[in-house]
């Protein structure tokens, strides 16, 4: 485990609690006291402040990168050097160029690589994604994902030199990949329109952003991200198709509500702002945030010689989309998504959802009114005239 902080501990809780045979046997931290404490807390036999020593440890078979963004590339290069399977937290890189270097390096080294995008492994997402892939919503038109909270835990997130950006890179990477999964990962993202600003925090990066991603099949992905939201961690997704709609609320309102005066109360849930008043705890954070399913997929793929659902290539695509979003936030224009390595379809077609009413007309809408009359709104195929029929 490379990293002994917030996400490293979340990952280790999941690893030790999910498949009983998986154990962290070496931990790296930049601070020796943190490495020692981590090793003590999780009964890890080896700790070090040397990145290469942790990766090269003879008993290590998989390296999990849970480090600040600016350290990902160095860690990946060492994994390539020592031929160790590597799984990396999100975002893969600070930019698409950085992500591409990591992608090419692991492929040239011939090592297993997985992208730890946990929010496409949550139980609700997996159920919804299966329904979408089975055609329950028809052709997907719009996929929206929102992640907002009061801000991250560690200092490096707030420094764009280390992190690569603000809330858009930190949270937008989740939202972009969620929408991309619903729309279809083979469908090419073409261009992005984005607004981003620094509204509240005294930082040199955006703390609030909203963006639209246009896909080659006509679908739109939308992300809403913020480090200025008050009230905890809000994770919500909406997907609209020609035959249906789904809404997911993954964290803030979970069906578990509790009131407390705060006496004796400490931790409630990730990024909860208070431990008094009405609270919305999460029954099993590790599972609800997708960590259990994510690591199970990673290790199953590794053992069976397969690719996991999320690889470094997916991390690269996400970085390319977010690069375009950052350009758009500056130019106020639609900006193209630039790929040096696109492996999906290049077809740009918007499938028709037109429904015939009869040989000469399309059906616009059918409804039953509140006064019992059935109506059809129709459009003439040749003249374009719109009319209605009722009975």
**pLDDT tens digits, 153-205:** 899 999 999 999 999 999 999 999 999 999 999 999 999 999 999 999 999 99
Bridge pairing between strands 208-215 and 189-197: antiparallel
DSSP labels for 322-388? HHHHHHHHHH-S-EEPP-SS--S-----------BSSSSEEEEEEEE-TTS-EEEEEEETTT--EEE
CB of 189 closer than 8 Å to CB of 215: yes
Average pLDDT over residues 230-234: 88
Residue 355 lies in a domain: no
- Write out pLDDT tens, residues 28-43: 999 999 999 999 999 9
Question: For a pLDDT cut of 70, what percent of the chain falls above it?
Answer: 96
Q: Indicate the number of domains in the chain.
A: 3
Q: How big, in percent rounded to 5, are the helix, strand and coil portions of the chain? A: 35, 25, 40
pLDDT of residue 284: 85
270-304 as b/e, with b when 16 or more CB fall inside 10 Å?
bbbeebeeebbebeebbbbbbbbbbbbbbbebbee
Residues 65 and 187 in one domain: no
Q: Is residue 69 part of a domain?
A: yes
End-to-end alpha-carbon separation of the chain, Å?
69
pTM of the model: 0.92
Read off the pLDDT band of 351 (50, 70, 90).
low
- Do 230 and 131 fall within a single domain? yes
User: What percent of the chain has pLDDT above 90?
Assistant: 84
Beta strand 46-48 pairing with 26-28: parallel
User: What residues pair up with 335 in beta bridges, in sequence order?
Assistant: 192
- Whether 173 maps to a domain, the answer reads yes
* 223 plus 316 within the same structural domain: yes
Asked if residue 314 and residue 213 are part of one domain, the reply reads: yes
Q: Show the domain range for 378.
A: 361-390
Place of tokens 């709609």: 245
Strand order across the 62-65 sheet:
62-65, 85-89, 113-116
Q: What is the pLDDT of residue 275?
A: 76
Of 214, 231, 152, give the one whose Cα is nearest residue 179. 214
Is 250 found in the same domain as 127? yes
Is 376 within a domain?
A: yes
| Co-location of 266 and 325 in the same domain | yes
Tell me which H or E stretch contains 249.
strand 244-249
Q: Is the residue at 130 inside a domain? A: yes
**227 lies in the same domain as 293:** yes
For residue 96, being part of any structural domain is answered with: no
387 burial class (0-12, 13-18, 19+ CB within 10 angstroms)? exposed
Instruction: Examine the domain organization and report whether 332 and 365 are in the same domain.
Output: no
Q: Is 191 inside a domain boundary?
A: yes
Mean pLDDT of 45-70: 98
Domain boundary among 73, 90, 107: 90
Predicted confidence at residue 348, as pLDDT, reads: 84
Average pLDDT over residues 64-68: 98
What integer is the mean pLDDT of 80-96?
98
Same domain, 177 and 306: yes
Q: Do 174 and 309 reside in the same domain of the chain?
A: yes
Residues 312 and 382 in one domain: no
Q: How far apart are CA 117 and CA 313, in angstroms?
A: 12
Residue 291 resides in a domain: yes
Pair type for strands 244-249 and 113-116: unpaired
Residue 25 and residue 143 share a domain: no
Statement: residue 341 has pLDDT above 70: yes
Question: What is the rounded average pLDDT for all residues in the chain?
Answer: 93
Q: Tell me the pLDDT band of 266, cut-offs 50, 70 and 90.
A: low
Determine contact, residues 45/34, Cβ cutoff 8 Å. no
Three-class DSSP category at 29: coil
């Amino acid at each position: 485990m490379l990293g002994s902080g917030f996400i490293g501990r979340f990952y280790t809780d999941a690893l030790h609690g999910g498949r009983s045979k998986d154990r962290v046997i070496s931990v790296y931290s930049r601070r020796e006291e943190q490495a020692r404490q981590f090793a003590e807390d999780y009964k890890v036999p080896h700790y070090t402040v040397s990145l290469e020593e942790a990766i090269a440890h003879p008993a290590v078979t998989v390296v999990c990168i849970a480090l600040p963004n600016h350290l990902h590339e160095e860690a990946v290069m060492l994994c390539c050097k020592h031929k160790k399977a590597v799984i990396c937290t999100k975002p893969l890189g600070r930019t698409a160029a950085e992500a591409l270097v990591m992608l090419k390096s692991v492929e040239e080294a011939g090592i297993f690589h997985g992208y730890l995008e946990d929010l496409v492994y949550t139980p609700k997402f997996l159920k919804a994604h299966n329904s979408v892939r089975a055609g329950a919503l028809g052709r997907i038109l719009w996929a929206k994902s929102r992640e907002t909270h009061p801000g991250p835990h560690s200092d490096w997130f707030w420094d764009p030199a280390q992190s690569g950006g603000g809330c858009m890179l930190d949270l937008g990477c989740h939202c972009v990949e969620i929408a991309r999964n619903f729309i279809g990962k083979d469908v090419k993202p073409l261009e992005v329109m984005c607004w981003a600003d620094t509204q509240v925090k005294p930082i040199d990066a955006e703390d609030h952003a909203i963006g639209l991603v246009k896909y080659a099949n006509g679908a739109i992905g939308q992300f809403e991200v913020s480090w200025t939201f008050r009230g905890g961690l809000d994770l919500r997704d909406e997907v609209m198709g020609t035959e249906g709609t789904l809404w997911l609320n993954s964290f803030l309102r979970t069906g578990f509500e509790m009131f407390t005066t705060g006496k004796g109360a400490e931790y409630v849930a990730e990024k909860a702002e208070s431990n008094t008043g009405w609270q919305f705890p999460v029954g099993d954070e590790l599972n609800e945030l997708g960590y259990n399913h994510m690591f199970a997929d990673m290790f199953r793929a590794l053992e069976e010689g397969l690719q996991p659902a999320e690889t470094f290539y997916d991390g690269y695509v996400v970085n390319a989309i977010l690069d375009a979003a950052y350009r758009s936030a500056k130019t106020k224009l639609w900006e193209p998504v630039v790929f040096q390595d696109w492996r999906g379809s290049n077809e740009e077609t918007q499938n028709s959802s037109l429904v015939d009413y009869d040989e000469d007309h399309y059906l616009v809408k059918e409804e039953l009114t509140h006064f019992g009359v059935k109506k059809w709104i129709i459009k003439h195929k040749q003249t374009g005239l719109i009319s209605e029929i009722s009975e």
